[in-house]
Amino acid sequence: MSTLTISPSPHVHSGDSVKKNMYGVILALIPALIISVYNFGLGAIVVTATAVVSCMLFEHLIQKFLLKQETTIWDGSAMITGLLLAFNIPSNLPIFIIIIGALISIGVGKMSFGGLGNNPFNPALVGRVFLLISYPVQMTSWPIAKALPFSYTDVTTGATPLSVMKEALANGELPTNVLHEIPSYRDLFLGLQGGSAGEMAGIAILLGLGFMLFRKIITWHIPTAVIGSVFIFTGLLHWINPLMYAPPMFHVLSGGLFLGAVFMATDYSSSPMSKKGGLIFGIGIGVLTVAIRVFGAYPEGISFAILIMNAFVPLIDKYIKPKRFGEKPAVAK
């Protein structure tokens, strides 16, 4: 023995790390990726690879040349942003648009705020919404699932269940009249619907959720609050006027609700710290999503809802505190 190390307690560590959590999320995204490739073939592969590689590259370049920092691209966080961006865009999106999306996600959404852990908004959604506003046509022409597995841009496109619903409303039709054009709940749940590359299959996302809960990467609070509040809110509307409003199961199973609730809203740094805060945040997202879907201009509202609620996180964290020890009044006098 030469010298003894002196440091304050505790002297042991759980061994948990940023990498373990981030790669855990990536593992949890694999089932959705498989469904995406199964549905959209080559397109899904090209979109995902482009998004992941460009997100990592932009993070590396910004750290090397602008911030003069050690690179952190292997901590897994940039890969997640890339995957989530890819899952949120159509699988036939031109490559240059994907690269712009990655630049906005990483450059504006993440690094401009100080990188890992400091972003107030979900970086992938920042990129996605930027693209939605800048390239509305490309961003809303969704390839039809399993149409042409080996081609990329030259595919047949079709509407998503939510846009069918929205168009019906716009044309003055009753939404319930177009329900027959929409896949069955079983097909929706298994991912047999049009939409963004990785958002379709509820079952794949739930598999990922189970894995993340098991590994204690996230808690159940936010996903449950989002999906639960969408179900209750749309259920209420449907109960008031079943002809005008689609049934709650349709809203829960279609669009990007599962992906948003499980992977986007639970982003560590843009969600509240306390569990109670997480419930409020999740309910806010659910209510806003339904409001946009049912009363707004866009067919899908989960991205906007999450971004809007992201802005409320500092406020939620300031006022919603975890239950302190000893708050429960003592029994004895």
Partner 1 sequence: MLKTFSLGGIHPPENKFSAGKKIEALPVPSQVAIPVSQHIGAPAKPIVKKGDAVKVGTLIAESAGFVSANIHSPVSGTVFKVDDIVDASGYRKPAIIINVDGDEWEENIDRSTELKKDITATPEEIVKAVANAGIVGLGGATFPSHVKLSVPPGKTCEVLILNAVECEPYLTADHQLMMEKGEEIMVGTQIIMKALKVDKAVIGIENNKPDAIKHMESLASSYPEITIEPLKVQYPQGGEKQLIDACIKRQIPSGKLPIEVGAVVQNVGTTLAVYEAVQKNKPLFERVVTITGKSVSKPSNFLTRIGTPLNNLIDAAGGLPEDTGKVIGGGPMMGKALVSTDIPITKGSSGVLIMPNEEAKRKPMQNCIKCSKCITVCPMGLEPYLLMTVSDKQVWDRAEEENIMDCIECGSCSYTCPSSRPLLDYIRLGKGKVGQIMRSRTK
12 scored as a contact of partner 1 (CB under 8 A): yes
Q: Which CB atom, from 115 or from 256, has the smaller least distance to partner 1?
A: 115
Tell me the HSE value of 234 on the side-chain side, using a 13 A CA sphere: 26
Per rule CB under 8 A, count of chain residues that contact partner 1: 42
Contact 80, 22 (CB under 8 A): yes
d(C-alpha 87, C-alpha 44), whole Å: 9
90-103 burial: b if 16+ Cβ within 10 Å, else e: bbbbeeebbbbbbb
Site for partner 1 contains 273 (CB under 8 A): yes
Helix, strand or coil, per DSSP, at residue 157: strand
Per-residue x/- track, 160-199, partner 1 (CB under 8 A): ----------------------------------------
Q: Which of residues 198-237 bind partner 1 (CB under 8 A)?
A: 216, 219
* Interface with partner 1 in residues 239-268 (CB under 8 A): 268
CA distance 143 to 191: 14
How many Cβ atoms sit within 10 Å of the Cβ of residue 266?
25
Site map for partner 1, 86-115, x if CB under 8 A?
----------------------------xx
Backbone angles phi, psi at 6, to 5 degrees: -115, 125
- Please report whether residue 18 would count as binding partner 1 according to CB under 8 A: yes
Torsion of CA 216, 321, 307, 94, to 10 degrees: -20
Cross-strand partners of 157: 143
Q: For the segment 49-78, give every residue that binds partner 1 (CB under 8 A).
A: 75
The interface region with partner 1, picked from 103-111, 161-169, 302-310, 323-331 by CB under 8 A, is 323-331
Task: Please say which residue, 64 or 216, places its beta carbon nearer to partner 1.
Answer: 216
Residue 90 and residue 137: Cα distance in Å, rounded?
Answer: 11
| Closest distance of CB 129 from partner 1, Å | 21
Instruction: Find the binding residues for partner 1 in span 302-321 (CB under 8 A).
Output: 321
Examine residue 330 and tell whether it contacts partner 1 (CB under 8 A).
yes
Provide the mask over 19-48, with x wherever binding to partner 1 is found by CB under 8 A and - wherever it is not.
-xx---------------------------
Q: Which residues contact 181 (CB under 8 A, 6 or more apart)?
A: 164
Shortest approach of partner 1 to residue 116 CB, angstroms? 5
Q: Residues interacting with partner 1, by CB under 8 A?
A: 1, 4-14, 16-18, 20-21, 75, 114-118, 216, 219, 268-269, 271, 273-275, 321-328, 330-332
